[in-house]
Each structure stands twice: as C-alpha cells, then as structure tokens.
Structure 1
Amino acid sequence: MKLHGSMTVENNTLSIGGVSCLDLAQKYSTPLYVFDEELIRNNCREYVNYFKVNENKNKVAYAGKAFLPIYMCKLINEENLCLDVVSGGELYTAYKAGFPMENILFHGNNKTIDEIKLGIDLGVGRFVVDNFYELDLIEKICIENNKTQKIYFRITPGIEAHTHDYIKTGQIDSKFGFTLTNGELYDAIKKILNYKNIKLVGLHAHIGSQIFDIEPFLDEVDIMLNLVKEIKEKYNVDLTEIDLGGGIGVYYSKNDKPKTIKDFCEAIISKADETCKKLNIELPTLIIEPGRSIIANAGSTLYTVGSIKDIKDIRTYVSVDGGMTDNIRPSLYQAKYECSVVNKIGNNKGNNVTIAGKCCESGDILIGDIDIMKIESGDILITTSTGAYGYSMSSNYNKIPKAAVVSVINGEEKLICKRQSYEDLLLLEMQ
C-alpha cells in the first residue's frame, strides 16, 4: 500500500497527521473517514502557485461534489480557491460556511427553478449555463428581481478522453452543455444578444474525470481559445474567462500513473500562452476545477474486520463494517483501491483475500483478490485514497448510518462530521 501525504509507520502501526489510526478507530469507532489536512492544504497551494493565480489572476475552483462539508468550504476559502457547486444543497452549504458568493460557479445540467432563484438571490458569481431552458429561466428571474447575472456557456468540445464511460463528459453524446458540431452554441449566442439581464463572460468545458494524459487538456485549450476569437469576430462578444473544468487523474492503485499538479498546470499555461500569441488575442482569465486531485489521496477509510469466510480452493471473504454505503465507487465504476491492516504495516503478505462490505448485496465488494498480511477478526483495516466521492456519495442503504469524518493535522484530530445515530436516520420520517 502506498503511503500518501503525512502518513508514517512506527512499530508497524500507521499514523496520519501524527495521529495513530488505531487511536482514531478506538475513539471515533468505525467506519471512519480520516482526512489529512496538511496534504489537502499543500495540494491547494500547489494549484494556486503553478496555475499562476496571483501573477495572472487565474482561478482555481474546487469541485465541491468530491467532498463538501462546511469545514471543507472554510478550508478552501482560506487557501484562496473558488468553489464549483452543482446543486442547491452544495450552494447552501457554502452559504452557511460564509463562503464568498462571488467566488462560486454554479453548475448543473438541470437546475431547478428554486435552485436558480437561490443562486441569483445569494449573488452567485457565475452560472454555468447548460441549455436553452436554463438560459430563459435565468433571464426571466433576473428581470423579476432587477438583477444582472454573469454566465458561462458550457460546451461539449467533442474530446473523448481515455476514462471510464460513465465519467466522460466532453464527447458529443453527452447530457451536458451546448454542442459545437450542430450549431447549438452559436444559436445560444445569437439569442443572448437580445437579453438585457444576462452577461456572457466566458465558456466552460469539462472533458471527463480520472484522466492521466495531458494531451486532451491541451486540445481543449486550443478549441476554447479558437472559439474566443471566432465569437469576437462573428458576434462582437468579448469572452474574458475560459473555464477548462477538472478531471486530472490520481493514484488509486499500482497501475495508475498520474501527472503532478505542477506538470498539469504548467502545460495548460504554456499552451494557452502559445495559442493566444498564434491567434493574436489577449490571454483570458483561465479557470480550472480540480476536485479529486485535491482531496482523493488525502482521505482514507478505517474499518473493523468482522467475519472471515474461507471457501476452500475458491476464495476468502474478509467482511468489514462498512462497504458500498460509504464507498460506492467499486460497485459503480469498478474502481480499484489499496488497503492494509493499520497495526501490521510491513508484515509479510501472502494471503489472497477479497474485502467485502456488509450490505445485503453480492456486489458489495470493496477490493477483490488482494494480497495482504495475515488478517483476523477485530483488526482495523484501512483503504486509502477514498477522499473523493466517498463521503459525498455515501448513502443509508440497508438503513446503515453514515460514518463520521475527522480531519488530522500536526498530531491533532478534529471531528468535522458526526456519525449518524439510528435516531438521526428517522428524523424525516412521519409516524
């Protein structure tokens, strides 16, 4: 198992942020999400530095869907990041956290009327408009409230990055955005010329997630900047902001070979400079929206091992006290993870097992066929790189309460999300 961030091993026992994982499991029970705050902050600072936020006034918008409790909103604000939200719930969380509304980008392919009203009322900085329906609603609501709203148009640039089919979003056949090849984008621009309460300031594209190659992003830069020039020449509309989305891949298991934040940012900045000079246009403000690459490797999940079922000559199932309710990605995307026993780090391996969850589903498998040290009931198991889309996609399936979340840094831990109780599960149910 690869160690990330502030993970250390002493006397075969794993610590994160200077705090023993055994102590965390004992104090807060399991399953338990553990976040390495130092690594999160370091990742944020690398993005701010290498994407030239201060020098070029570019922007890094954290993709909140990856993980967005109130504590995370406050952290990214402290680190000078903007925020990308995709729902009224995420927006309201940011509002309650005191996050600056002008630094929020509001995404979503089917924002409800109530969500649009909330965004306009709170003063969201940019709406990322996905379709004609939304465009008309924003204009109507702005007129009713005597407000003007800045927007981006989301486009589908036709780039099919090498990633899982469910997380490809830049190809033509997508539920997201205005398509380039059929003229939708140009129809939208013509329409907005007659609107008085909407100001188009930029374009947005997102080509997918968990992408390891830099080349698709460079193709995206080229497409977007050529559009900036074309739209200025055809419609006399100045686009001063270009949002390239997110999607940079991260390490989950040994076959993953991600680029560094530095490599990713510098390649985009260089390509944008080169393309703008070639096109003889001013360099717009560039925006990127990393989520997974900020938070994934900073999060881990602790479990307690329960039953162990050894089917002779077939398979050994090691069941833990969590599963698809706290990490749906293995079932949904066949995502791969690494794991270990927190007080047996460095011990000899040689035991091939399958890590199973406790849900009443045969597909509730966290890790299949992994070589691990001797494992026993009562051991504390850790799966790493669960920071992105673990807690945010968790559920109460089988009426299982959601796990607690702690942040660790410099030898101290802080509870940032309480564990659900059985009473919490029933709060919305009527008798």
Structure 2
Amino acid sequence: MVDYGIKYWSNDDFIIEDGLVKVNYQNKPALLEIVQEIREKGYKGPLLVRFPHLIHKQINQLFNAFKTAIDEYHYKGSFKAVFPLKVNQMPNFVLPLMDCVQGLSYGLEAGSKSELIVAMAYTNANAPITVNGFKDKEMISLGFIAAKMGHHITLTIEGLNELESIIQVAKELGAPYPNIGLRIRLHSTGTGVWGKSGGINAKFGLTSTELLEAIRRLEDSKLLAQFTMIHFHIGSQISDISPLKKAIREVGNIYTELRKMGAKNLTCVNIGGGLAVEYTQHEGENNRNYTLSEFSGDVVFSLKEIVRNKQEKEPDIFIESGRFVSANHAVLVAPVLELFSQEYDEKALRLKENNPPLIAEMLDLYQSVSEKNAIEYLHDSLDHMESLLTLFDLGYIDLTDRSNTEILVHLIIKKVIKLLKHKNHNDIIRIQEQVQERYLLNCSFFQSLPDYWGLGQSFPVMPLDRLNRRPTRSASLWDITCDSDGEIAFDAKKPLYLHDVDVMKEEYFLGFFLVGAYQEVLGMRHNLFTHPTEFSVVFDDDLNKGYEIENLLEAQNILDVLDDLDYDTKEIERILKQRIDDSGISDDDKKEVLGMLYVMLSENGYLRTITKDQ
C-alpha cells in the first residue's frame, strides 16, 4: 500500500482503509463515496468538498494549546484570536467558523471595507474585530460605526496619516471610539516566500521614530486611552520557531517601553499570523519544524519572561493564523480525463510485412522481455529508439515506422515497470523520470490552486482509491487550460506516482488536500473557468449514512461568467440566434442547433465529454 505521505500532512483528518481515502471522523465515510453521490446527481467536473468539523477541530486545538501553556506558566494575560478574512472570505467557510467559535474570544480581521462589513455582520457578540491594512477616512469611519454598534473593534494603524484620519473622525463622530492598535515594523524577519512581511523594509508598520510620534499625537488628541494593542507579523508559514521568538523579544521590549511612557491601556500584543501548515508528502521536506504545543509554549513563556524582567503587566495574546484554521477543511477533487500515452497499445501498431531491422528487434524485445532481462532489454529499446529517430531525420524510415518505434518503446517501458513494480531499482526510477505519464485533469490550476502557479506552493495530492495497489506511473498533471503553465510537472526530488488506468472504462479521481487557505479567494478565471461546484459534508449520527450534504453550490454557468465580466448576455444570445437564423440551414436544424446552444450556455465551462461520463 502507498500512503502518499498521509502521515505527514493529514493531521489524522484522513486515513487509508481498504484501499480508499476515508474521512477520519465518526463513521469514516470514503471520500470517493461522497464524490460519487454528488456526481450521480449530475454534478460533473471538479468538486470542492468542505468539512466544517475540521474547522472546529483546528479552533479547539489552537485554544487548548494556548490554555495549556497559560496554565503551565501561570500567565496572567488571556488568549484571543481573529481569522483574517483575506485567507478565505467564502460564506460556506466563514459562517460555520463563526458558528463553532460562539462563546470564545474569536472574531474576524478585515483588510478592506468589504471585509469589514462582513466582520460587522457576522462576528459574534463580545468577540474581537481587528482592522489591518491601509485605510482611508471612509474605512476609519466604518470602524467608528462598528464601535457604536457595540463591537470590540481595534483599528490597527499602518502609518501616521491614518492616525491623523482617526483623530479627525473622532472629533466628527465622537464616542464611543474604536480601540487603536499600532503595527510595528520590526527588525526581525521570517523565512521563506513570505519572509518579506517582516523586517525594516516591510510594507506595513511604524518605525521606532514613527511610533514615538504616534504616541505624542495620541496624547495631544486625548486618545491615548484608546491605544490598546501593538501588532506585528513576520510572515506566513513560519517554518522554524526561532525567528518568532526573536520577534517576540523585540516586540515585548517595545510593549514594556510604551507602557512606561504612559500607555497604560496598552494590554494586547497581536503576534499576527504565520503558524505553519504541514503540506509535505515526503520525509525530510517538512514545512513546519515545531509542534503546536511548542509554538504556544514559546510565545507564552517568552512574553512572560520579558514583561517580568521589566516589571510590567502580562499582555493578552492575540493571534491571527488563518492558514492554520482554514487550510485543512477543504479538498479539491478532480476527475482524470485522459492519460496521454494510452494510445500506445498493441492495437495502435501498424507493422509492415518487412519492417526496418531495428523495429523488428524492438518487437522481439517486447515479446520476450522477462523479469530476468528487463533492465537489459529496456536499455536496448531506448538505444534502438534513438537510432530509429535519427534514421527518420535522415529520411531512411517513414512516419509509420516512427509511430511503431514510439509505440513499442512505451509498451516495453510499461511491461518492464509492471515486471519490476515491487523493486526499487534505480534504473526504473530513472526511466520513470524520463518517460512520464501525463494525466489530464478536469480542473484549472489557475482557478483552484493559484499558489502552486504563482508561488510554487505544493499541495498533497493522491488518488481517492486503488491505494491497496502500487502505482507504477511517474505522473505529470495537466489542467484543461490552454496555458503551458497549467502543469504540475514530475519532480524527481518529490515524486508523484499514480496508477495506470483506462479512463475510458473506469473513473479515476485525484484529491488535492489542504486547499482551504487562500486558493479560493486568489483563484483567477483563466480561460473563464470558474469556481468548482462546492458542498459541505456535515456529520450526524442520527442519519443512515452518518452525514449529509449541505450548501451545495453549482459552478457558475457560461452566461453567468460572462455576465460577471459585464458582457451583455442578452445581446450575446440575440447575436447567436440571429447568426443561426442567417446561416441557411433548415428550420429543423436551426431548432436543434439553437437548443443545443442554449443547453451549453446553461452549463459550466468544465469538460464533460472526453470520457464516457465526465
């Protein structure tokens, strides 16, 4: 059985049993069973499957870890958190999130006016709202409205001009005021792709000089009492704990200095996001080199030691960490439409009565290859292929001979791999790197996995079944966009092997896991492919199956996509109908063609017809 590194990345959310990927919860349904249920209802193409219970699980783990650390170190501050809406604004994530955090000090973080409206509408009573990012006067006024509605809101200042706008709006709108936070531009930085979020040249935050000026302006405007939080962020996906500990030492000292300067209502330190998610499928390629217990313990202990030495109050700890909360709740399932070497079978051979000698030899190699001579014959066939391709370039063999050459070498490779599939022979690994199988998937990587395309972020991927059979094909994955970048190429350092299946006869699905953070909100409509059909799987012991499908939302149809781009879809329909009327075909054909066209316009743009039932 091949486990695709599930022990590294799944956090026990998914397991393999009976050759199937199963949800490791309650009655443990197979993911394939859930997918087939949806497809039987007529929903084809890619599917985004949400598991709300995994949102709840992450929240519980986060709060329990910090509670344990606070109790262990007798820390006097409390733990609070917000979810940054930029990570996933989709209602079928946000609403279950807000439902499962009732009674906890867990709210939402907004970085735009639209996100702030969502936060004002859905954050639970007595839970915090924080507002980050650049703000104009209107957005600041919206924060004051939230305060008047009774929200516990903190406007985090990114620059002195924003502070001036707050002072002005405070004079115009009066109390109650929102709380004020100051984002600090630390010298400490994170690591990796997102490390530039920290450091002295970071996009956001106040320098030490600007921080002192901000305190002076708050005092002059009699708003210093509203200053309750300092905030920093050293980057998403912090792989090692040491940069965070260094940043906390820096911010802890700033916190104590500001309190000694008179900011006595400063009681909160927001450590931002960065709690990493483990994406790796391969041993030794870890994305996170610490446990959640280590993370929470180091944060609590470091802050306690700093403020104890400075004899100041232990602050409340705020955390964002949206990736940790949201990534694991969603799985993208994509049907395989085609394997591009499947045309290479014996039926495709066009052998002649008199074949070139090297082709005759290759045919003999194919027919007589065995486990004993497999590697030798494999090398011989590859040598023959190079010689035959040279002969074709020189005009000594024809296109039929070239076709037979390509088919025979693929047949020999597949036969050798099958004969030696239980052996980790270096030659087999090498040849699999050279001769990869291309799996065409009914999805768009630009839409559903944009971080792969834009940042090189890898996501765990595995078939949903056949996991009791060893996969033999080194796999490159192609999406259906007409863009060469829509490919996840085979990587010898982090190889992906899949099964050799005939998708004309049987279905084969791949699951991409941990796609619940950023991928939906960053997804782009390359080739006008839209968000996949999505649904939530909600578990209930009282149901026969143990779960039910909720919040099913079909992918947008073609007309809706065009309408979103501000095309006049009524005009498009009129033009198409007119051109059919003017085409000169018979009235019966016109009616049939028009009917077909309207059906297509009412469906989503993903493919449906390459295999028997896509």
TM-score of the pair, normalised by structure 1 = 0.90
> Aligned residue for 2:242?
215
Q: In 2, are the aligned partners of 1:168 and 1:209 still within 8 Å (CA)?
A: no
Question: AA paired with 1:140?
Answer: Q
Structure 1 residue 409, shift from structure 2 partner: 4.1
Distance 1:225 1:391 in 2: 35
1:37 to 52, 67, 84: 52
- Equivalent in 194, 202, 226 of residue 253 of structure 2: 226
Take 1:220 and 1:267, find their aligned partners in 2: how far apart are those partners? Answer: 12
| Residue in structure 1 matching 2:449, options 298, 315, 327 | 327
Structure 1 runs (4+) deviating above 6 angstroms are none
Aligned counterparts of 1:115 and 1:196: Cα–Cα separation in 2:
22
Counterparts in 2 of 1:216 and 1:395: CA distance versus 1, 3 Å: same
Relative to structure 1, the CA distance from residue 118 to residue 331 in structure 2 (aligned partners, 3 Å threshold; closer, same or farther) is same
Counterpart of 1:341? 463
* Corresponding residue number in structure 2 for 1:392: 521
2:109 matched residue in structure 1: 84
| Pairwise CA distance, 1:337 | 2.1
Gaps in structure 2 of 5+ consecutive residues: 72-76, 342-405, 411-433, 540-545, 569-614
Match of 2:348 in 1: none
Q: CA deviation at 1:314?
A: 5.2
Q: In the aligned structure 1, how far is the partner of 2:496 from the partner of 2:332?
A: 19
Structure 1 equivalent of residue 196 of structure 2: 168
Which has the larger share of helix?
Answer: 2
The residue type paired with residue 30 of structure 2 is S
Q: Is the 8 A contact 2:463 2:511 kept in 1?
A: yes
Distance 1:162 1:104 in 2: 28
Cα displacement string for residues 348-400 of structure 1 (whole angstroms, at most 9, x for unaligned residues):
12311111222232222245433323144441111112121121222222211
Q: Within 5 A, what are the aligned runs for 1:247-266?
A: 247-253=274-280, 254=282, 255-258=285-288, 259-266=290-297
- CA pair 232-10 structure 1, distance change in 2 beyond 3 A: closer
Residue 247 of structure 1 deviates from its aligned partner by 0.2
Change (3 A) 1:367 1:284: farther
1:14 corresponds to which of 6, 18, 21: 21
**What is the distance in 1 between the residues matched to 2:136 and 2:435?**
50
Deviations 1:43-101 (A, max 9, x none): 10121122239974220222332223234333333322222222222222334435448
Distance in 2 (alpha carbons) for counterparts of 1:340 and 1:220: 37
RMSD: 2.6
Match of 1:97 among 111, 122, 132: 122
The 1:367/1:277 distance shift into structure 2, 3 A limit, reads: farther
State the secondary structure of the residue aligned to 1:210: coil
1:57-206 superposed matches below 5 A: 57-77=78-98, 78-79=100-101, 80=104, 81-97=106-122, 99-100=124-125, 103-108=128-133, 110-123=134-147, 125-147=153-175, 148-164=177-193, 166-180=194-208, 183-196=209-222, 199-206=226-233
CA displacement, residues 193-225 of structure 1 (integer Å, 9 cap, x when unaligned):
222457211100000111121122211221112
Distance 1:111 1:319, change over 3 A: farther
**2:339 is aligned with 1:308:** yes
What is the CA-CA distance between 1:324 and the residue it aligns to? Answer: 1.5
1:108-161 CA distances to partner (integer Å, 9 max, x unpaired)?
1x2344433333323351111111222222222333222322111111211122
Deviation track 1:250-309 (CA, whole Å, cap 9, x = no partner) reads 111121252222221111111111222111111011111111112223322100112333
Contact preservation (8 Å) 1:324, 1:365: no
Corresponding residue to 1:358 among 471, 477, 480: 480
Residue 241 (structure 1) aligned with residue 363 (structure 2): no
Distance in 1 (alpha carbons) for counterparts of 2:123 and 2:314: 32
Instruction: Give the AA of the match of 1:59.
Output: K
Alignment-derived partner of residue 294 in structure 1: 325
Do the aligned partners of 1:37 and 1:407 also contact (CA within 8 Å) in 2?
yes
SS at match of 1:178: coil
Secondary structure of 1:151's partner? Answer: strand
Aligned partners of 2:220, 2:536: CA distance in 1, in Å?
50
SS of the aligned residue for 2:448 comes to coil
Query: For 2:119 and 2:560, how far apart are their aligned partners in 1?
Result: 23
Please state how far the C-alpha of 1:25 moved relative to its aligned partner: 2.9
Higher relative contact order (CA 8 A, sep 6+): 1
| 1:235 CA displacement | 4.8
SS of structure 2 residue aligned to 1:156: coil
CA 1:306 to 1:201, structure 2 compared with 1: closer, same or farther past 3 Å? same
Instruction: Quote the residue 1:422 is aligned against.
Output: 558
Structure with the bigger percentage of strand: 1
In the TM superposition, what is the alpha-carbon distance from 1:236 to its structure 2 partner? 4.8
Give 1 or 2 for the bigger CA radius of gyration.
2
* CA distance in 1: counterparts of 2:55 and 2:203, whole angstroms: 31
Task: Give the TM-score taking structure 2 as reference length.
Answer: 0.65
Q: 1:317 aligns with which of 438, 442, 446?
A: 438
- Letter aligned with residue 36 of structure 1: F
Q: Distance in 2 between matches of 1:167 and 1:120?
A: 33
Q: 1:228-262 CA deviation, whole Å, 9 max, x = no partner?
A: 22123335554211101110211111212522222
Specify whether residues 393 and 346 from structure 1 end up closer, same or farther in structure 2 by C-alpha distance, changes over 3 A only: farther
The DSSP-based 3-state class of the residue aligned with 1:280 is: coil
